[in-house]
Structure 1
Amino acid sequence: MHRLNLDHLHAFATVIEHGSFSAAAERLALTQPAVSLQVRQLEKRLGTLLIERVGRRATPTAAGTELLAHAARIDEAVGTALGAVGQHAAGVMGRVRLGTGATACIFLLPPLLRELRRRYPGLELTVTTGNTADIVKAIDENRIDVGLVTLPAAGRSLVVTPVLDDPFVVAAPRGTELPTRLTAAALARQPVLLFEPGGNTRRIVDAWFARAGVTLKPVMSLGSVEAIKALVAAGLGCAVLPQMAVRHEQARGSLVVRPLAPKLQRQLGVVVRRDKRLQRPLAETIRALETLAGTAPAAAP
Structure 2
Amino acid sequence: MLKRLALGAALVLAAGGCATGPQSDAAKMMAAADKVPDTPGTGPYPAIMEIDPDLPGYVVYRPADLTPFSSEKLGVFVWGNGACAADATSARQQLAEIASHGFLAIAPGTWQSGPNAKVARTAVRPKDSTDSPTSATDLAYALDWAMAENGRSGSRYVGLIDPDAIALAGYSCGGIQALRLADDPRVDTMIVQNSGIFSEPSPFMEMNMSKDQLRVLHSPVLYLLGGPSDIAYGNGTDDFARIENVPAMLVNIPTGHGGTYNQPNGGKGAAIVVDWLLWQLRGDSAAKAAFACPQGKWCRDSDVTIERKNGL
Same fold flag (TM > 0.5)? no
> Of the two structures, which has the highest relative contact order with CA contacts closer than 8 Å and spacing of 6 or more?
1
The structure carrying a bigger helix percent of its residues is 1
The structure carrying a bigger strand percent of its residues is 1
Superposition TM-score, scaled by structure 1 size:
0.27
Superposition TM-score, scaled by structure 2 size:
0.26
